[in-house]
Amino acid sequence: MWNSTKITQLLGIDYPILQGPMGAGFFTTALLASVSNAGGLGSFGAYTLSPEEILEADKKIKEATNKPYNINLWVNDVDAALVNYPPEKLERIKQLFKPYFDELGVPLPDLSTDIPSKFEKQVEALFEIKPAVFSFIFGIPSKEILNESRRLGIKTVGAATTLDEALALEEAKVDAIVAAGFEAGGHRPSFLRPAQDSFTGLFTLLQQIKAKTNTPIIAAGGIADAKGIVAALTLGADAVQIGTAFLATDESGATPLHRQMLFSDESNHTTISKSLTGRMGRMIHNRISQNIAFETEVLPFPLQTKLIAPLKVAALAQGKTEMISFWSGQNTSSLKYHSANELMHALITETGNLIV
């Protein structure tokens, strides 16, 4: 049976299909429940939320599904550079973005560099909730956190963008490793080397990790249909994690405009930029992502997000789509489904048809 793998057994799910966690407003209970209720693993991307917000959202999740699901957090959620950030530098970088604010007729925002990490407190909420799975990116939680997860029966899943990161995750005894290919939408969650020095495509990364580790592997990046699932399983993955194809469905938290962009030809050209948040991520190429080149100085994460937020609101209100960046993975050419239920159903049936 194609759908019985180390991951389905480990996580107690029917199909080795995981909905990629998506934080910062892209998560919805409806999307999580569609995937978990269909036998996959739905995910709650919670990294921007307070512990209280996480507990509140979890009540709604429990009303929508009684199946296993995943809560995802960012181990490193504030760049070290933000500590004692020089005010002159903050002002200088803000001024780099002034022409865009002027163009939209909005003032530059006042910004405070006092942004504490939320991670440890979020983990306390997660331990109260005890989801089936705790997945994380941008690092490895402390031994204490990993031990406590084990004690509570929560499976841990870390993400690797290089073989070295996968080896570090295996050393920490996580239950599964996400091989995060360069094709993937959203942030590049590297934590050992800089993200720009960790550009491995999924097919290579998967085989590198398979050759050197024994931990079950979840393949992520550029998988959007049954053929992609079969390819990943053939190369040694025990499950797949799909982001962009779920982001494009009506159940996701993406705006209608964002979903429309994902289905348009424009999404065939994606680019890597730090412009949106201060950390490198993949988004649809447009005027703003081109102008704010990778080399352009930006504020540390998550301060850049706070700088860009009012610009995004104004650009949306004025219909200036070339001034907004839209997250997207590289592979949008096989996007077909607007309903998460239909997407899950097609992935399950068509993968079964391909593997006889």
Which positions lie near ligand FMN, rule CB under 6 A?
Answer: 20-23, 26, 45, 47, 72, 137, 159, 180, 183-186, 220-223, 241-244, 247, 327, 329, 331
- Cα dist from 229 to 37, 66, 88, 337, 349, whole Å: 19, 26, 49, 16, 12
| Residue closer to ligand FMN, measured from CB, 161 or 208 | 161
Cα–Cα distance measured from residue 206 to residue 117, given in angstroms and rounded to the nearest whole number: 31
Task: Count Cα neighbours of 306 within 13 Å in the Cβ-side half-sphere.
Answer: 16
- The CA distance from 158 to 148, in Å, is 16
Residue 64 CB, nearest distance to ligand FMN (Å)? 19
User: DSSP character for 299?
Assistant: P
Instruction: Give the residue with the Cβ less far from ligand FMN, 72 or 93.
Output: 72
Task: For residue 262, give the nearest of 321, 186, 207, 331 by alpha carbon.
Answer: 331
| Cβ at position 23, least distance to ligand FMN in Å | 3
Closest among 144, 141, 174 to 157, alpha carbons compared: 174
In contact, 9 and 234? CB cutoff 8 Å: no
- Minimum CB separation from ligand FMN for residue 270, in Å? 10
3-state secondary structure of 162: coil
By CB atoms closer than 10 A (0-12, 13-18, 19+), residue 92 is exposed
Minimum gap (Å) between residue 118 Cβ and ligand FMN: 13
Which residue type sits at 344?
M
What six digits make up the tokens of 190? 């590297």
Rounded to an integer, what distance in angstroms lies between the CA atom of residue 148 and that of residue 47?
19
Residue type, 181: G
φ, ψ for residue 66 (rounded to 5)? -115, 15
User: Which residues contact residue 25 at a Cβ distance below 8 angstroms, ignoring those fewer than 6 apart?
Assistant: 48, 253
Closest separation between CB of residue 295 and ligand FMN, Å? 23
Cα–Cα distance measured from residue 45 to residue 77, given in angstroms and rounded to the nearest whole number:
13
Rounded least distance, CB 102 to ligand FMN, Å: 28
Q: What SS3 class is residue 296?
A: coil
Both tokens of 61, joined, read 């999740």
Shortest separation between residue 112's beta carbon and ligand FMN, angstroms: 23
